[in-house]
Amino acid sequence: MKRLLPQIKKLRVKICEIARRMYTNGFISSTDGNISAKITEDLFLCTPSNKCKGEIKPEEILLVNKMGEKVVGDGVVSSEFFTHLSAYEERSDVSAVIHAHPPFSVVVSLVEISLTEPVLPELIMTLGKVPTTDYATPGTSEGAKVIKPWVKNHNAIILKSHGVLTLGKDLEQAYIFLERVEHSAKIIFLAHLIKKPRRLNITQIKKLGKLGL
Protein backbone atom coordinates (compact mmCIF):
# COMPACT_ATOMS: atom_id res chain seq x y z
CA MET A 1 0.00 0.00 0.00
CA LYS A 2 2.81 2.42 0.93
CA ARG A 3 4.25 2.42 -2.57
CA LEU A 4 0.82 3.39 -3.92
CA LEU A 5 0.44 6.47 -1.72
CA PRO A 6 1.89 9.06 -4.15
CA GLN A 7 -0.42 7.74 -6.91
CA ILE A 8 -3.43 7.73 -4.56
CA LYS A 9 -2.69 11.30 -3.46
CA LYS A 10 -2.45 12.51 -7.06
CA LEU A 11 -5.63 10.73 -8.13
CA ARG A 12 -7.61 12.09 -5.18
CA VAL A 13 -6.68 15.65 -6.17
CA LYS A 14 -7.59 14.96 -9.81
CA ILE A 15 -10.96 13.43 -8.83
CA CYS A 16 -11.78 16.61 -6.89
CA GLU A 17 -10.76 18.77 -9.84
CA ILE A 18 -13.00 16.77 -12.19
CA ALA A 19 -15.86 16.86 -9.66
CA ARG A 20 -15.64 20.65 -9.52
CA ARG A 21 -15.66 20.92 -13.31
CA MET A 22 -18.74 18.67 -13.46
CA TYR A 23 -20.52 20.75 -10.84
CA THR A 24 -19.52 24.09 -12.35
CA ASN A 25 -20.68 22.99 -15.79
CA GLY A 26 -24.04 21.84 -14.43
CA PHE A 27 -23.51 18.16 -15.21
CA ILE A 28 -24.47 17.39 -11.61
CA SER A 29 -26.32 19.22 -8.87
CA SER A 30 -26.81 18.73 -5.16
CA THR A 31 -25.09 15.47 -4.15
CA ASP A 32 -25.41 13.83 -7.59
CA GLY A 33 -22.78 11.97 -9.56
CA ASN A 34 -19.84 9.76 -8.81
CA ILE A 35 -16.28 9.38 -10.00
CA SER A 36 -13.93 6.44 -9.60
CA ALA A 37 -10.37 5.59 -10.58
CA LYS A 38 -8.63 2.22 -10.72
CA ILE A 39 -5.36 1.90 -8.81
CA THR A 40 -4.77 -1.86 -8.95
CA GLU A 41 -6.96 -4.83 -9.91
CA ASP A 42 -8.38 -4.79 -6.38
CA LEU A 43 -8.13 -1.17 -5.34
CA PHE A 44 -10.14 1.81 -6.47
CA LEU A 45 -10.81 5.37 -5.44
CA CYS A 46 -14.44 6.45 -5.37
CA THR A 47 -16.37 9.56 -4.38
CA PRO A 48 -18.62 9.09 -1.33
CA SER A 49 -22.40 9.38 -1.50
CA ASN A 50 -24.38 12.28 -0.05
CA LYS A 51 -21.64 14.84 -0.56
CA CYS A 52 -21.76 17.83 -2.88
CA LYS A 53 -19.15 16.93 -5.48
CA GLY A 54 -18.51 20.62 -6.17
CA GLU A 55 -16.97 20.99 -2.73
CA ILE A 56 -15.47 17.58 -2.14
CA LYS A 57 -11.96 17.39 -0.66
CA PRO A 58 -9.17 14.91 -1.52
CA GLU A 59 -9.25 13.30 1.94
CA GLU A 60 -12.96 12.50 1.48
CA ILE A 61 -12.33 10.28 -1.55
CA LEU A 62 -12.68 6.66 -0.42
CA LEU A 63 -10.43 3.70 -1.07
CA VAL A 64 -12.60 0.74 -2.07
CA ASN A 65 -11.90 -2.88 -3.01
CA LYS A 66 -13.34 -4.83 -5.93
CA MET A 67 -16.15 -6.15 -3.74
CA GLY A 68 -17.31 -2.57 -3.32
CA GLU A 69 -16.21 -2.52 0.32
CA LYS A 70 -14.60 0.53 1.85
CA VAL A 71 -10.91 0.07 2.71
CA VAL A 72 -10.02 3.59 3.86
CA GLY A 73 -12.14 6.70 4.46
CA ASP A 74 -15.00 8.10 6.52
CA GLY A 75 -17.90 8.36 4.08
CA VAL A 76 -20.30 5.87 2.54
CA VAL A 77 -19.37 4.18 -0.74
CA SER A 78 -21.52 5.47 -3.59
CA SER A 79 -24.46 3.18 -4.31
CA GLU A 80 -23.56 3.49 -8.00
CA PHE A 81 -20.06 2.10 -7.48
CA PHE A 82 -21.25 -1.38 -8.51
CA THR A 83 -22.05 0.06 -11.93
CA HIS A 84 -18.47 1.36 -12.10
CA LEU A 85 -17.13 -2.06 -11.05
CA SER A 86 -19.13 -3.70 -13.80
CA ALA A 87 -17.42 -1.40 -16.32
CA TYR A 88 -13.93 -2.16 -14.93
CA GLU A 89 -14.66 -5.90 -15.08
CA GLU A 90 -15.53 -5.70 -18.77
CA ARG A 91 -12.73 -3.34 -19.77
CA SER A 92 -9.14 -3.87 -18.64
CA ASP A 93 -8.12 -0.75 -20.61
CA VAL A 94 -10.31 1.50 -18.48
CA SER A 95 -8.86 3.28 -15.43
CA ALA A 96 -11.55 5.86 -14.75
CA VAL A 97 -15.35 5.90 -14.73
CA ILE A 98 -17.61 8.91 -14.33
CA HIS A 99 -21.35 9.08 -13.79
CA ALA A 100 -23.31 12.33 -13.99
CA HIS A 101 -26.76 13.73 -14.74
CA PRO A 102 -26.09 16.28 -17.51
CA PRO A 103 -29.46 17.86 -18.40
CA PHE A 104 -29.48 17.56 -22.19
CA SER A 105 -28.24 13.96 -22.12
CA VAL A 106 -31.05 13.08 -19.73
CA VAL A 107 -33.59 15.04 -21.80
CA VAL A 108 -32.78 13.21 -25.05
CA SER A 109 -33.18 9.95 -23.17
CA LEU A 110 -36.53 11.04 -21.70
CA VAL A 111 -37.98 11.97 -25.08
CA GLU A 112 -36.25 9.05 -26.83
CA ILE A 113 -33.99 10.94 -29.18
CA SER A 114 -31.14 8.58 -29.99
CA LEU A 115 -27.47 9.59 -29.97
CA THR A 116 -26.70 6.68 -32.30
CA GLU A 117 -27.92 8.55 -35.39
CA PRO A 118 -24.99 9.69 -37.57
CA VAL A 119 -25.67 13.42 -37.56
CA LEU A 120 -22.68 15.03 -35.85
CA PRO A 121 -19.25 14.29 -37.41
CA GLU A 122 -17.32 15.26 -34.26
CA LEU A 123 -19.31 12.81 -32.18
CA ILE A 124 -18.86 10.00 -34.71
CA MET A 125 -15.09 10.58 -34.87
CA THR A 126 -14.61 10.58 -31.12
CA LEU A 127 -17.21 8.33 -29.54
CA GLY A 128 -19.01 6.70 -32.47
CA LYS A 129 -22.52 5.73 -31.45
CA VAL A 130 -23.59 6.64 -27.95
CA PRO A 131 -26.12 3.96 -26.97
CA THR A 132 -28.89 4.17 -24.40
CA THR A 133 -29.32 1.35 -21.88
CA ASP A 134 -32.57 -0.17 -20.66
CA TYR A 135 -34.03 1.55 -17.64
CA ALA A 136 -32.52 0.67 -14.27
CA THR A 137 -33.51 1.93 -10.84
CA PRO A 138 -30.77 4.41 -9.83
CA GLY A 139 -28.56 3.29 -6.97
CA THR A 140 -29.35 -0.42 -7.34
CA SER A 141 -27.51 -3.39 -8.82
CA GLU A 142 -29.72 -3.05 -11.92
CA GLY A 143 -27.28 -0.40 -13.17
CA ALA A 144 -24.44 -2.93 -13.40
CA LYS A 145 -26.67 -5.25 -15.48
CA VAL A 146 -28.02 -2.75 -18.00
CA ILE A 147 -24.60 -1.41 -18.97
CA LYS A 148 -23.17 -4.91 -19.65
CA PRO A 149 -24.24 -5.13 -23.30
CA TRP A 150 -22.63 -1.77 -24.10
CA VAL A 151 -19.44 -1.24 -22.11
CA LYS A 152 -17.29 -3.55 -24.21
CA ASN A 153 -17.53 -1.34 -27.27
CA HIS A 154 -18.52 2.09 -26.01
CA ASN A 155 -16.80 4.74 -23.90
CA ALA A 156 -19.96 6.74 -23.34
CA ILE A 157 -23.39 5.38 -22.51
CA ILE A 158 -26.70 7.07 -21.74
CA LEU A 159 -28.48 5.49 -18.77
CA LYS A 160 -32.14 5.67 -19.70
CA SER A 161 -34.07 8.43 -17.91
CA HIS A 162 -31.14 8.86 -15.54
CA GLY A 163 -27.76 10.10 -16.74
CA VAL A 164 -24.48 9.32 -18.45
CA LEU A 165 -21.64 6.88 -17.77
CA THR A 166 -18.24 7.48 -19.37
CA LEU A 167 -15.15 5.29 -19.37
CA GLY A 168 -11.61 6.52 -19.92
CA LYS A 169 -8.01 5.41 -19.87
CA ASP A 170 -7.69 8.13 -17.22
CA LEU A 171 -9.87 10.63 -15.38
CA GLU A 172 -9.26 13.45 -17.85
CA GLN A 173 -10.35 11.32 -20.79
CA ALA A 174 -13.50 10.11 -19.02
CA TYR A 175 -14.37 13.74 -18.26
CA ILE A 176 -13.72 14.89 -21.83
CA PHE A 177 -16.08 12.15 -23.06
CA LEU A 178 -18.74 13.32 -20.62
CA GLU A 179 -18.43 16.90 -21.82
CA ARG A 180 -18.61 15.80 -25.44
CA VAL A 181 -21.73 13.70 -24.92
CA GLU A 182 -23.53 16.54 -23.18
CA HIS A 183 -22.54 19.12 -25.80
CA SER A 184 -23.66 16.76 -28.58
CA ALA A 185 -26.93 15.97 -26.80
CA LYS A 186 -27.60 19.70 -26.51
CA ILE A 187 -27.00 20.32 -30.22
CA ILE A 188 -29.04 17.30 -31.32
CA PHE A 189 -31.90 18.14 -28.98
CA LEU A 190 -32.05 21.76 -30.17
CA ALA A 191 -31.98 20.58 -33.79
CA HIS A 192 -34.93 18.28 -33.10
CA LEU A 193 -36.95 21.25 -31.85
CA ILE A 194 -36.82 22.65 -35.38
CA LYS A 195 -36.86 19.47 -37.48
CA LYS A 196 -35.36 16.00 -37.69
CA PRO A 197 -31.60 16.49 -38.19
CA ARG A 198 -30.05 15.45 -41.51
CA ARG A 199 -28.14 12.17 -41.32
CA LEU A 200 -24.69 12.01 -42.88
CA ASN A 201 -24.63 9.65 -45.86
CA ILE A 202 -22.50 6.48 -46.00
CA THR A 203 -19.69 8.15 -47.97
CA GLN A 204 -19.51 11.00 -45.47
CA ILE A 205 -19.48 8.57 -42.55
CA LYS A 206 -16.75 6.42 -44.13
CA LYS A 207 -14.55 9.49 -44.56
CA LEU A 208 -14.72 10.02 -40.79
CA GLY A 209 -12.91 6.69 -40.35
CA LYS A 210 -15.57 5.02 -38.25
CA LEU A 211 -17.13 2.13 -40.07
CA GLY A 212 -19.83 -0.21 -38.89
CA LEU A 213 -22.22 2.55 -37.91
Contacts with Zn ion, residue ranges (CB under 5 A): 138, 163
Shortest distance (Å) from residue 143 CB to Zn ion: 8
Shortest distance (Å) from residue 31 CB to Zn ion: 10
Q: Closer CB to Zn ion, residue 81 or residue 119? A: 81
Q: Closer CB to Zn ion, residue 68 or residue 138? A: 138
The residue with its CB nearest to Zn ion is 163
Shortest distance (Å) from residue 83 CB to Zn ion: 9
Q: Closer CB to Zn ion, residue 31 or residue 65? A: 31
Q: Report the distance separating Cα 192 and Cα 18, nearest Å.
A: 30
Q: Report the distance separating Cα 58 and Cα 125, nearest Å.
A: 34
Q: Report the distance separating Cα 2 and Cα 24, nearest Å.
A: 34
Q: Closer CB to Zn ion, residue 17 or residue 142? A: 142
The answer to whether the CB of 127 falls within 8 A of the CB of 177 is yes
Shortest distance (Å) from residue 79 CB to Zn ion: 9
